[in-house]
Structure 1
Amino acid sequence: MKISIVAGARPNFMKIAPIIDAIKIKQNQGLDISFRLIHTGQHYDKNLSDTFFQELGIPLPNINLEVKSGSQAEQTAAIMIGFEKELFKFPADLVLVVGDVTSTMACSIVAKKEGVKVAHVEAGIRSGDMSMPEEINRIVTDSLTDFYFTTSTYANENLLKLGVEEGKIFFVGNVMIDTLLNNISKFNEPPIFNRLGLNSQKYIVLTLHRPSNVDEEKVFADLMQNISRIAKDFKIIFPVHPRTKKLLEGLNLNLPNVHYIEPLGYLQFNFLVKNSFLVMTDSGGITEETTVMGIPCLTLRNSTERPETCDFGTNMLIGSDVGLMEEAITKIVAGKWQKGSVPELWDGNAAIRIVDVLIKLYNIKP
């Protein structure tokens, strides 16, 4: 069995790492299963892509399509053109896509038009917010998918409501958590920890990259000023995404407790998260990691595609509501925050389950 595995952006690398490891285990057992790793180049900043291959032990990609930046349409088109050529040259029995980035959607379309089956890891999640490009990517990908690998019962329910056959849905758990648990002992302190005089549980980690938060100067400036004011007793560590950096350069924000840093690799960033007092973010994936690590998390969005992080975990949606932000931080300081629990099957074995399902579906034998 030949599998083409697609990765294009930072979250993808965290999801494919344990899947590749699981495939290698089966190869060592003599099973006829192989893969080609296709890096679309959607993220091309070294700290957003290359570093992840080194830290997570991912083999170098067989090809990098090097699509880089552009509008949604330009990037989608470039990925489709490049991946079509790849599939012509190296036919596959299955294209495996992960997550909800542009690469996920674009490569699924190409695969189906070439008559190749698609497996979607992290299928079925929905935020209900059609202003998010990721939501459109999810909907399109799941409309084409043959095998749906899900992280939660919420995702299963979403797919069943859409009319997906139950036999095509496989509740396997969360590969992001596989990677987290596989690497938690390897987290290492970034140089900025000492340089900024940070102490465990005495600082806040902030990440922002959603267009609704960072694309308009006034919205972004107001949000940053409110966060700085409400969390005035804490140092705020803000690894700045490339798209956000451009906007920051044009603003004159004098926020003495906010420290802007370059993006960090996986092991150093998660060291910061694990030792933080609180995480504030508009990322979905980080809410999963904080849930497993038991770190309080405030999501600066009005919806989430990962409701289990709120219902079972340590996450709370606050949007841009200043009152909610103040109330939440006061609760956390008082030690009255929800302790949370780990959702079902977030146990570090999701990738093994995925590969076991594929072996059974394709009747792969030694």
Structure 2
Amino acid sequence: MKITIIAGARPNFIKIAPIIKAIEKQQSEGKTISYRLVHTGQHYDKNLSDTFFEELNIPHPNANLEVKSGSQAEQTGAIMVAFEKELTQNPCDLVLVVGDVNSTMACAIVAKKMNIKVAHVEAGIRSGDMTMPEEINRIVTDSITDYFFTTSKSASENLLKNGVDSSNVHFVGNVMIDTLHQNLNRISAPSFWDEFDLETGNYIILTLHRPSNVDEEKSLINLLEGIDKMVGDKKIIFPIHPRTKAILGETNLNLKNILFVEPQGYLNFMYLIKNSFAVITDSGGISEETTVLGIPCFTMRTTTERPETIEIGTNNLVGISIENLTLEFTKFLENGLSKRGIPELWDGKASERIIAILLTK
């Protein structure tokens, strides 16, 4: 079996690393399976892409489509044009896509139009929010996928409700957590740890990148100032996304607690998460990692495609207003974190299950 694996953005790199390891393990045991790694170039900042390949020991991509940024349509179209050429020159039996970024949908469409099977890792998750580009990417990808690998039973149920053949839906667990398990003994403090006098539990991690939170400069500033006041004497480490940084520009902010840093590599970022007091974010993936690490997470969104992080894990969905965030954060300070657990099959072995299943197809 020849598999073409697609990676385009930061979360993709984290998800493909254990899949590649699982393939290589099967190869070492004499199984007939090979892979070709295609980086679409959707994330091209070194701190958002190259660093993850280096840290997670992912082989250098066989091809980089170098599509870079643009509008949703421009980027999706550029990926499709470039990937069609790639597949024409390098045929395969299966295209494996992960997550819900533009690269996921674009490459799935190209593969299906070339009569190549598609496997979707992290299939079936739904936020119900059609204003999110990722939700559209998920729905389109799952509408043409052949083999569905899900992180939760609820994701599997979403697919079955839409008429997907149950024999093609496989609840395998979470490959993001595979990577976390495989690298926990390698995480390390970032260079600014001592400079900022960071200690376990004396700081909060903040990440913001969604349009609803960062696209309008005035509301972004109000949000940052509100978070700054809300946390008391806790430091706030904010690895600022290039897009968010550009929106703030040269604005003179009056912040006493928020410390801006560059986007972090995986090993440094996971160290920061693991040792933090809490996390404030609008990311979906981070709520999965905080759940496994037992770190309180406050997600600034009105919906989540990962309900298990709330029902079982440490995630709190707090909306996008500073008032509601402050209310929920204050409750946490007063009452602490209720007893939480780790979702089923988030045990570090999802990738092994995926490749074992694909070898039977």
Question: What TM-score results when the alignment is normalised by the length of structure 1?
Answer: 0.97
Kindly provide the CA deviation profile for residues 16-55 of structure 1, in whole angstroms up to 9, marking residues without a partner as x.
0000000001101111100000000000010100011111
Give the whole-Å Cα distance in 2 for the aligned partners of 1:245 and 1:48: 14
Comparing 320-329 with 214-223, which one deviates more in the overlay?
320-329
Kindly provide the CA deviation profile for residues 118-155 of structure 1, in whole angstroms up to 9, marking residues without a partner as x.
00000000101111110110011000100000000110
In the alignment, is the contact (CA less than 8 A) between 1:217 and 1:251 conserved in 2?
Answer: no
In the alignment, is the contact (CA less than 8 A) between 2:300 and 2:325 conserved in 1?
Answer: no
Kindly provide the CA deviation profile for residues 279-330 of structure 1, in whole angstroms up to 9, marking residues without a partner as x.
0000000000000000000000000000000000000000124343223322
Q: Which residue of structure 2 aligns with residue 357 of structure 1? A: 357
Give the whole-Å Cα distance in 2 for the aligned partners of 1:214 and 1:250: 15
In the alignment, is the contact (CA less than 8 A) between 2:48 and 2:263 conserved in 1?
Answer: yes
Please give the residue correspondences for 1:79-158 in structure 2 after superposition, counting only pairs within 5 Å: 79-158=79-158
Unaligned runs of 5+ in 2: none
In the alignment, is the contact (CA less than 8 A) between 1:331 and 1:337 conserved in 2?
Answer: no
Q: Which residue of structure 2 aligns with residue 230 of structure 1? A: 230
Amino acid at match of 1:70: G
- When the two structures are aligned, how many residues end up with a matched partner? 361
Instruction: Give the secondary structure class of the aligned counterpart of 1:194.
Output: coil
Give the whole-Å Cα distance in 2 for the aligned partners of 1:328 and 1:247: 27
Instruction: Give the secondary structure class of the aligned counterpart of 1:192.
Output: coil
Q: Which residue of structure 2 aligns with residue 364 of structure 1? A: none
In the alignment, is the contact (CA less than 8 A) between 1:42 and 1:67 conserved in 2?
Answer: yes
Give the whole-Å Cα distance in 2 for the aligned partners of 1:187 and 1:217: 34
Q: Which residue of structure 2 aligns with residue 281 of structure 1? A: 281
Q: Which residue of structure 2 aligns with residue 192 of structure 1? A: 192
Instruction: Give the secondary structure class of the aligned counterpart of 1:270.
Output: helix
Instruction: Give the secondary structure class of the aligned counterpart of 2:360.
Output: helix
Identity, % of aligned positions: 63
Q: Which residue of structure 2 aligns with residue 211 of structure 1? A: 211
Q: Which residue of structure 2 aligns with residue 262 of structure 1? A: 262
Instruction: Give the secondary structure class of the aligned counterpart of 1:193.
Output: coil
Are 1:308 and 2:304 an aligned pair?
no
Amino acid at match of 2:267: L
Kindly provide the CA deviation profile for residues 158-197 of structure 1, in whole angstroms up to 9, marking residues without a partner as x.
1111111111100000000000011011110001111111
In the alignment, is the contact (CA less than 8 A) between 1:301 and 1:319 conserved in 2?
Answer: yes
Q: Which residue of structure 1 aligns with residue 320 of structure 2? A: 320
Comparing 341-350 with 70-79, which one deviates more in the overlay?
70-79
Shift of 1:256: 1.5
Give the whole-Å Cα distance in 1 for the aligned partners of 2:96 and 2:61: 14
Instruction: Give the secondary structure class of the aligned counterpart of 1:120.
Output: strand
Give the whole-Å Cα distance in 1 for the aligned partners of 2:338 and 2:89: 52
Give the whole-Å Cα distance in 1 for the aligned partners of 2:262 and 2:87: 36
Q: Which residue of structure 2 aligns with residue 19 of structure 1? A: 19
Give the whole-Å Cα distance in 2 for the aligned partners of 1:250 and 1:132: 28
Unaligned runs of 5+ in 1: 362-366
Kindly provide the CA deviation profile for residues 190-232 of structure 1, in whole angstroms up to 9, marking residues without a partner as x.
0111111111101000000001110111221121111111113
Amino acid at match of 2:110: V
Instruction: Give the secondary structure class of the aligned counterpart of 2:184.
Output: helix
Give the whole-Å Cα distance in 2 for the aligned partners of 1:252 and 1:212: 22
Shift of 1:65: 0.4
Give the whole-Å Cα distance in 2 for the aligned partners of 1:157 and 1:216: 37
Amino acid at match of 2:224: M
Shift of 1:272: 0.5
Give the whole-Å Cα distance in 2 for the aligned partners of 1:128 and 1:229: 32
In the alignment, is the contact (CA less than 8 A) between 1:213 and 1:219 conserved in 2?
Answer: yes
Kindly provide the CA deviation profile for residues 61-103 of structure 1, in whole angstroms up to 9, marking residues without a partner as x.
0000000111111111111011000100010100000000000
